[in-house]
Amino acid sequence: MVFIFFISTLAHRLISKTCFMNKFTDFVKESYVEMTEKVSWPKWDQLTQSTMIVLGATLFITLIVGIMDFVANSSMKFIYSLFK
């Protein structure tokens, strides 16, 4: 009786793993098809333009944060120097 339970449990686990692998391979195949056939990738000019916009915005925001940090640091040094 215990042997039958053990065999059925083992079979169930093997089937579950096989089912998981089938689902995983289906997912990989479907993902490949979607990425190669259904996705519209940008052209090189569009990609370059978008990259330059992101780079410019990043540099601008970095400059603004740097200025804010400098002003805050200078203000705090001035305030602390008043209480020495």
Task: Look at residue 24 in the predicted model and tell me its pLDDT.
Answer: 78
pLDDT at 67 over 70: yes
What is the pTM assigned to this prediction? 0.56
List pLDDT tens digits, range 2-58. 556 555 665 666 666 667 677 778 888 888 888 889 888 899 999 999 999 999 999
Distance between alpha carbon 8 and the CA centroid of its chain, in Å? 41
∠ CA 49-55-61, rounded to 5°: 135
Task: Look at residue 8 in the predicted model and tell me its pLDDT.
Answer: 64
